[in-house]
Amino acid sequence: MLPYNIVEGDAFKRLNFADPAGARRYELKTEKFFRATLMPATYEKVANRVRGLMSQADWVSFTTDGWTNPPKTCSLLSFTAHFFHQSTRQKVLLTAMVLEQDHTGAYLASKLTGAIETWKLEGKVHMGLRDNAANMVSAMLIAKVEDFGCMAHTLQLVLHDALFSQSTVETIVKKSRRIVTHFKHSEQASRHLADCQKSCDVPAHKLIQDVETRWNSTFLMLQHVSEQRKALRLYNAEHGSITMLTTTELDLADRIIAILKPFYDATLEISRDDACISVVIPIVSLLLAKLQATSEDVGLLQMKAALRDAMNRRFDTVMTQPNLTAATLLDPRFKDIYLSPQEKEDAKKTILIFLRNRREQAADERSTGVESDDHNQPSTSAASTGSGLWDDYDNYTPDDSLPNPDVTAEETELTNYLREPRIARSANIYNYWSCSQFPGLEPAARKYLSAPPTSVASKQLFSAAGQIYADRRSNLLGENAEKLLFMAYNIRQ
């Protein structure tokens, strides 16, 4: 992450890499050695390891996102692969492609197609995760890749459309932002606030400055302002300088926080490193259940209705996407409890068609001498009285009625799988399928459970890119940035 010329600095040269008690025998390498010799050799070594992993993967899903460096001299498009490997789901960065033309859908599609060909993933790509930008949607369509919009980004749009755009909420957010800014810009004010926290016996938490493009930071900002109301009032009485929220505004902020808490829990859940796309349908169902109006919702009916409408509009297709329903059915934590009878049958059909086609393909390859590589939906008619996202899931009681036995081997195994009790929500689903008693279903699990629900992996990559493009490295060529990111991301694989 550091520029090569750091090895020519006086501080680096003072380091003794040999035995301090013996003669210095190590000759320091020049900047040119690291740049022209060690970096290319290391890149090739890591690339060979990644190629080996890709050759072993049956199915690969990928996340992609765009990024532009601070000087606006280089744009990159990430391509991060996710796939089953033994008892885990691995992720590797395959490339961070330099974008040299306008970011049209056709151009982005050509870059994605080129990455698939370079890494020999033809016929292995299950689906791609992207943001909701029109050019990315178009790129996936042109590249003929089944895709899904990043769930975290979609939730951001839901909350912006239905909540943060309301004038009353916007006023509270702006006033809270000014309060936090006051303390962020003054060490003296922060010190006085700490004294007020002690006097009021409230937690000594720091106020959080929000980022407009990350709604969860706004949630945390409101939560901390509400929590520190006594200390803030005392500070304002003693020192002034801030415009405190009124009692009515604080009450509204508390209601907003209560509504947003399940969304915050959902964002944490889908942003986990091992999160699977199979959680999309359960989380959407749980959030909609939380937004059902109750008699206790005085003053919240309009907010809940707006959020419910936005959720239905933004996630209106999730129950009709075969990749999502099949993934949910193959997740041993959920199976069919969030699918209607018809949705369950459609998901079973998707899985069985895939398994039948795979069996027939294997039979064809054997005949030519080529070896092949090997419901009941929780009610949403009434809102849950709890505040946790997963309350409805944890309290769900299944119907003990059993489906009729089927005839084919795949159908029988799928039926037996659905009859088994669900595993704990905290269990590792990838470990479950690596040693499952239903080996005939494992190929389908390796395909449909390979995708994450968000493109967070690509966004994490660009946090590293921001470190590489430091002030002393602002003229770094895009192709070299791509190699450095590739190594930084994959070197521990």
| Domains of the chain, first to last | 40-149+455-490 (3.30.420), 163-266 (no CATH), 319-448 (no CATH)
pLDDT band at 135 (very low <50, low <70, confident <90, very high): very high
Can you tell me the distance from the alpha carbon of 180 to that of 184, in angstroms, rounded to the nearest whole number? 6
Confidence of residue 471 (pLDDT cuts 50, 70, 90): low
Mean pLDDT across the stretch 47-70? 90
Q: What percent of the chain has pLDDT over 70?
A: 87
Q: State the chain's maximal CA–CA distance in angstroms.
A: 87
Q: How far is Cα 249 from Cα 270, in angstroms, rounded to an integer?
A: 31
Going by C-alpha positions, the residue among 150, 141, 144, 142 that lies closest to residue 78 is 150
Half-sphere exposure of 182 (CA within 13 A, CB side): 20
C-alpha to C-alpha distance for 425 and 274, rounded to whole angstroms: 13
Distance of CA 225 to the CA centre of its chain: 27
| Confidence at residue 474, expressed as pLDDT on a 0 to 100 scale | 60
Contact 489, 92 (CB under 8 A): yes
Given pLDDT bands bounded at 50, 70 and 90, which one contains residue 381? very low
Mean pLDDT of the chain: 86
Neighbours of 407 (CB within 10 A): 7
Query: pLDDT per residue over 407-421, tens digit each?
Result: 588 899 999 999 999
**Measuring CA to CA, which residue among 421, 367, 381, 393 is closest to residue 278?**
393
> Which tops the pLDDT comparison, 304 or 322?
322
Residue 379's pLDDT band (boundaries 50, 70, 90)?
Answer: very low
So what's the pLDDT on residue 296?
Answer: 65
* Lowest model confidence (mean pLDDT) among 33-37, 186-190, 374-378, 449-453: 374-378
pLDDT given at position 382: 44
Q: Using CB atoms within 10 A of its CB, is residue 243 exposed (0-12), middle (13-18) or buried (19+)?
A: exposed
- Which of 223, 64, 222, 53 has its CA nearest to residue 143? 64
User: What is the reported pLDDT for 48?
Assistant: 94
> What is residue 300's predicted lDDT score, i.e. its pLDDT?
74
What is the mean predicted confidence (pLDDT) over 397-402?
A: 57
pLDDT, residue 189, reads 92
At 221-267, the pLDDT tens digits run 999 999 999 999 999 999 888 899 999 999 989 988 988 999 999 99
Share of the chain above pLDDT 90, in %: 56
Tens-place pLDDT, residues 86-134? 888 999 999 888 888 899 999 999 999 999 999 999 999 999 999 888 9
CA dist., res. 412 & res. 68, Å (int): 51
- DSSP secondary structure, 203-265, as one string: --PPP---BTTBHHHHHHHHHHHHHTHHHHHHHHHHH--S-PPPHHHHHHHHHHHHHHHHHHH
User: Which one has a higher pLDDT value, 22 or 264?
Assistant: 264
Per-residue pLDDT of 308-326, as tens digits, reads 999 999 999 999 999 999 9
Exposure letters 126-162 (e unless 16+ CB within 10 A, then b): bbbbbbebebbeebbebbebebbbbbbbbbbebbebb
pLDDT at 374 over 60: no
- What mean pLDDT is predicted for residues 154-182? 90
180-214: per-residue pLDDT in tens?
999 999 999 999 999 999 999 999 999 999 887 78
114-128, 282-296, 440-454, 462-476: least confidently modelled range: 462-476
- Checking if the pLDDT of 70 tops 80, the result is no
What is the pLDDT, as a whole number, of residue 315?
Answer: 94
Band (pLDDT 50/70/90 cuts) for residue 383 is very low
Q: How far apart are CA 434 and CA 88, in angstroms?
A: 8
Whether 330 contacts 444, CB under 8 Å? yes
Mean pLDDT of all residues in 29-51 = 91
Least confident of 85-89, 159-163, 302-306, 370-374: 370-374
Residue 386: the pLDDT is 57
Which range of 65-74, 141-150, 459-468 scores highest in mean pLDDT? It is: 141-150
